[in-house]
């Protein structure tokens, strides 16, 4: 079976998923357990790879790219991993589109994209939303990336503080501002707790990122709240995820929630909003769930604009007191055991082999 992959090769979420998928396929091919012939069309035409990337894997990627240009037939099978915006563009007559969707009101344009592809979403919630509008979609859960994320066994702090991590690029949709401000009201300047924020948004300039943080903090400083710059490597990001005791996932809309997911898979405790794609992997056994309170418009004037042909609708919100109650419960769990043993099960329940099998079954 020959399959083409039209995917981004970079260090952001779409690229990370693409590389995981291709690494899994490469491992099968060199191990002699797969007869898939691979063609590669990198989205954007370029590939951004880590400096320490496996040499054989890199050569395979480039040779697959050359083979695609020289011999791919448009009647062949192709998987595209990309935004709905751009989903109509295809190198083949029939295309399987794997995409992330975060809101609740598909536009006519988005529905048209879904109908013109065999469309897969990484969120049951997204599938339900599109099906309610007459577009047929299928659910494919993502996988734990064991190539890049694993326990380090390091002790990151000399004291016994309980460290909370906030992750993801800073924006309204992810409810960072409310999460951080609410946490500070309860735990700010308390030496028993620390909040580490990896919320640098690479779509903004450094000055814009600094301004966003300054506005968020309202000019105040707390000795137990820190903000990290953009981490250039998965090794650094793995260190960050391992440094926390509790990950806070209160985003109002996600296609999956990769940082929170990997944190729980590393055995970290979690406070997670019981909504959207989070419900695909977070449960009462591996996380403290906080029920959403209502929905609010996603429009922010930066990433989500009114009357756009894409990304229209609402996100979930939460009550501050219920979030704090969730944090208190998570603290109790950490005090009982630093390792979230139920969280570790994610690595088997959402294995790479299951992910690759699911993708190949649809293409």
Q: Given the structure tokens 């975060």, which residue do they identify?
A: 102
Average pLDDT over residues 313-339: 98
Per the structure, the complete domain to which residue 247 belongs is given by: 162-349
What is the per-residue pLDDT for 93?
A: 93
> Quick one: 76 and 13 in the same domain?
yes
Q: What is the three-class DSSP state of 71?
A: helix
Judge if 327 and 355 occupy the same domain.
Answer: no
Between CA 79 and CA 67 the distance in angstroms is 16
Domain of 97: which CATH number? 3.40.50
pLDDT at 33 > cutoff 80: no
Residue 298 covered by a domain: yes
**In the prediction, which pLDDT does 31 show?**
84
Closest CA to 299 of 201, 211, 173, 177: 173
Are 114 and 208 part of one and the same domain?
no
3 state DSSP class of 247? strand
168 with 187, same domain? yes
Pair (223, 285) in one structural domain: yes
Based on the fold, state whether residues 135 and 168 are members of the same structural domain.
Answer: no
Dig out the tokens for 138 from the structure.
Answer: 């299928």
Pick from 274, 17, 255: nearest CA to 126: 255
Residue bearing tokens 């009114």: 306
Angstrom distance (rounded) from CA 213 to CA 170: 9
* CB 296, CB 315: distance < 8 Å: yes
Which pLDDT belongs to residue 352? 97
State mean pLDDT over 240-257: 98
The HSE-up count of residue 253 (CA atoms within 13 Å, CB side) is 24
Q: What is the pLDDT of residues 258-272, one digit of tens each?
A: 999 999 999 999 999
Question: Is residue 79 predicted with pLDDT exceeding 90?
Answer: yes
Residue 46 has a pLDDT of 87
Supply φ then ψ for residue 95, to 5 degrees. -130, 140
In a domain, 157, yes or no: no
Average pLDDT, the chain: 96
Percent of the chain with pLDDT over 70: 100
> How does residue 251 score in pLDDT terms, banded at 50, 70 and 90?
very high
Question: What is the Cβ-side half-sphere exposure of residue 363, based on CA atoms within 13 angstroms?
Answer: 24
290's tokens: 């906080």
Phi, psi of 194 (to 5 degrees): -140, 140
pLDDT at 307: 94
What's the pLDDT score for residue 189?
97
Q: Measured between alpha carbons, how far apart are the two ends of the chain, in Å?
A: 10
Same domain, 294 and 324: yes
- Count of domains for the chain: 2
Q: How many C-alpha atoms does 88 have within 13 Å on its Cβ side? A: 7
Residue 82 within a domain:
yes
Residue 327, pLDDT score: 98
Please write the tens of the pLDDT for every residue from 35-76: 788 999 999 988 988 888 899 999 999 999 999 999 999 999
- Cα-based angle 93, 96, 102 (whole degrees, multiple of 5): 135
Q: Is 154 inside any structural domain?
A: no
Residue 59 domain-assigned (yes or no): yes
- The answer on 355 and 343 residing in a single domain is no
Look at the block and give the residue holding tokens 């429009």: 299
What angle is formed at CA 18 by the lines to CA 12 and CA 24, rounded to 5 degrees?
130
pLDDT for position 36 = 81
Residue 249: which pLDDT band, with cuts at 50, 70 and 90? Answer: very high
Q: What is the pLDDT of residues 154-169, one digit of tens each?
A: 999 999 999 999 999 9
Confidence of residue 11 (pLDDT cuts 50, 70, 90): confident
pLDDT at 351 over 90: yes
> What local confidence, expressed as pLDDT, does residue 35 receive?
77
CATH number (domain holding residue 174): 3.40.50.2000
Distance CA 83, CA 96 (A): 13
E runs forming strands in the chain? 2-9, 37-47, 77-81, 96-99, 118-121, 137-139, 162-167, 193-198, 225-227, 246-249, 269-273, 288-290, 294-297, 314-317
Same domain flag for 78 and 184:
no
Whether residue 91 contacts residue 4, with contact meaning beta carbons closer than 8 Å, is answered with: yes
**Residue ranges with strand state E in 159-235:** 162-167, 193-198, 225-227
Q: Is residue 10 one of the residues assigned to a domain?
A: yes
Asked if 307 and 358 sit in the same domain, the reply is: no
Q: What is the pTM of this model?
A: 0.96
Comparing CA positions, the residue from 274, 287, 281 lying closest to residue 354 is 281
DSSP assignment of 282-348: --TTTSEEE---EEEE---SSS--TT-SSS-SEEEE--HHHHHHHHHHHHHHHHH-SS-HHHHTHHH
pLDDT of residue 207 exceeding 80: yes
Model confidence over 81-136: pLDDT tens digits? 999 999 999 999 999 999 999 999 999 999 999 999 999 999 999 999 999 999 99
Number of helices (H) and strands (E), helices first, in the chain? Answer: 12, 14
Is 118 found in the same domain as 17? Answer: yes
Name which of 39-48, 186-195, 309-318 the model is least confident about: 39-48
Q: Does residue 328 share a domain with residue 191? A: yes
Q: Look at the block and give the residue holding tokens 């990336």.
A: 145
């Amino acid at each position: 079976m020959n399959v083409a992959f039209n995917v981004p090769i970079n260090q952001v979420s779409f690229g990370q998923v693409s590389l995981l998928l291709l690494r899994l396929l490469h491992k099968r091919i060199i191990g002699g357990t797969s007869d898939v012939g691979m063609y590669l069309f990198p989205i954007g035409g370029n590939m951004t790879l880590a400096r320490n990337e496996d040499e054989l894997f890199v050569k395979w990627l480039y040779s697959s790219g050359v083979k695609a240009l020289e011999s791919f037939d448009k009647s062949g099978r192709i998987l595209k991993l990309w935004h709905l915006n751009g989903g109509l563009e295809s190198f083949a007559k029939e295309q399987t589109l794997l995409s992330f969707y975060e809101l609740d009101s598909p536009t006519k344009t988005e529905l048209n994209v879904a109908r013109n592809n065999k469309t897969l979403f990484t969120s049951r919630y997204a599938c339900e939303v599109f099906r309610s509008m007459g577009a047929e979609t299928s659910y494919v859960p993502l996988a734990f990336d064991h190539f890049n994320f694993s326990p380090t066994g390091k002790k990151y702090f000399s004291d016994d503080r309980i460290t909370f991590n906030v992750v993801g690029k800073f924006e309204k949709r992810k409810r960072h501002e409310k999460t951080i401000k609410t946490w500070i009201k309860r735990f700010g300047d308390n030496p028993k707790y620390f909040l580490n924020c990896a919320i640098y948004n690479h779509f903004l300039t450094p000055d814009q990122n600094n301004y966003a943080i300054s506005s968020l903090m309202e000019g105040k400083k707390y000795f137990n709240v820190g903000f990290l710059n953009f981490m250039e490597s998965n090794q650094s990001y793995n260190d960050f995820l391992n440094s926390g005791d509790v990950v806070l996932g209160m985003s109002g809309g996600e296609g999956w929630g990769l940082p929170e997911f990997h944190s729980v898979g590393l055995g970290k405790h979690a406070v997670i909003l019981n909504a959207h794609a989070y419900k695909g992997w977070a449960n009462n056994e591996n996380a403290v769930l906080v029920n959403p309170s209502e929905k609010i418009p996603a429009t922010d004037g930066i990433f989500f604009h009114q009357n756009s042909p894409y990304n229209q609708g609402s996100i979930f919100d939460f009550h501050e007191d219920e979030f704090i109650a969730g944090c208190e419960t998570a603290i109790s769990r950490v005090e009982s055991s630093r390792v979230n043993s139920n969280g570790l099960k994610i690595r088997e329940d959402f294995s790479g082999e299951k992910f690759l099998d699911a993708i190949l079954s649809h293409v």
